[in-house]
Amino acid sequence: MTGPDRQAGQMTATPGCPAIIARGVEKSFGKRRVLDRVQLTVEQGSIFALLGPNGAGKTTMVRILSTLIPPDGGEIRVAGHELPHQAAGARTAIGVTGQFSAVDNLLTGSENLALMAALRHLGRAQARQRVRHLLERFELSDAADRRVSTYSGGMRRRLDLAMTLVGDPRLIFLDEPTTGLDPRSRKTMWQIIRELASDGVTIFLTTQYLEEADRLADRVAVLDHGRLVAEGTPAELKQRTPGAHVELRFADEGALRRAAALLQAPPPEDERPVLRVSSDGTLAALRRLLARLDDAGVEVEDLSIHAPDLDDVFFAVTGRSAAQPTIEEVAL
Partner 1 sequence: MSALARTAAESAAMLRRNLKHQRRYPSATVMLVGMPIVLLLLFVYVFGGQLGAGLGPQLHAGLRPRLVGPGVQPAGDRIAYLTYVVPGILVMAVASAALGTALWVATDMTEGIIDRFRTMAIARGAVLTGHVLGSLVQTTVGLAIVVCVALAIGYRPTAGPLDWLAAVGVLLAFALALVCLSAALGLAAGSVETASNTPTFLTLLPLLSSGFVPTATMPAGLRQFAEYQPYTPVTQTVRALLAGADPGGHALAAIAWSAGIALVGYVWAVRLYDRRHAAAPR
Instruction: Catalog residues that contact partner 1 under the rule CB under 8 A.
Output: 3-5, 29, 59-60, 63, 66-70, 88, 91-92, 94-96, 98, 100-107, 111, 115, 118-121, 147, 163-164, 167
Please state the closest distance from residue 43 (CB atom) to partner 1, in A. 22
Rounded CA-CA distance 261/293 in Å is 11
Nearer to partner 1, 103 or 143 (CB): 103
Q: Judge contact between 49 and 217, C-beta under 8 A.
A: yes
Rounded CA-CA distance 25/63 in Å is 12
- Our measurement of the distance from residue 197's CA atom to the centroid of its chain's CA atoms, rounded to an integer in Å, reads 13
**Residue ranges of the alpha helices (H) in 40-182?**
58-65, 87-91, 109-119, 124-137, 153-165
Please state the closest distance from residue 310 (CB atom) to partner 1, in A. 25
For 325, which DSSP code?
P
Nearer to partner 1, 135 or 172 (CB): 172
Please state the closest distance from residue 72 (CB atom) to partner 1, in A. 10
Nearer to partner 1, 78 or 322 (CB): 78
Rounded CA-CA distance 272/306 in Å is 17
Please state the closest distance from residue 155 (CB atom) to partner 1, in A. 15
Tell me how far apart the terminal alpha carbons of the chain are, to the nearest angstrom.
47
Q: Judge contact between 226 and 38, C-beta under 8 A.
A: yes
Rounded CA-CA distance 56/229 in Å is 11
Nearer to partner 1, 63 or 238 (CB): 63
What single letter denotes the amino acid at residue 152? Answer: S
Rounded CA-CA distance 59/66 in Å is 10
The angle subtended at Cα 215 by Cα 55 and Cα 277, nearest 5°, is: 90
Sign for the pseudo-dihedral over CA of 118, 122, 126, 129: negative
Q: Judge contact between 26 and 74, C-beta under 8 A.
A: yes
Nearer to partner 1, 49 or 65 (CB): 65
Nearer to partner 1, 179 or 279 (CB): 179
Nearer to partner 1, 207 or 241 (CB): 207
Please state the closest distance from residue 218 (CB atom) to partner 1, in A. 23
Please state the closest distance from residue 107 (CB atom) to partner 1, in A. 6
* Phi, psi torsion values for 158, nearest 5 degrees: -70, -40
Rg (CA), the chain: 24
Please state the closest distance from residue 90 (CB atom) to partner 1, in A. 9
Nearer to partner 1, 161 or 275 (CB): 161
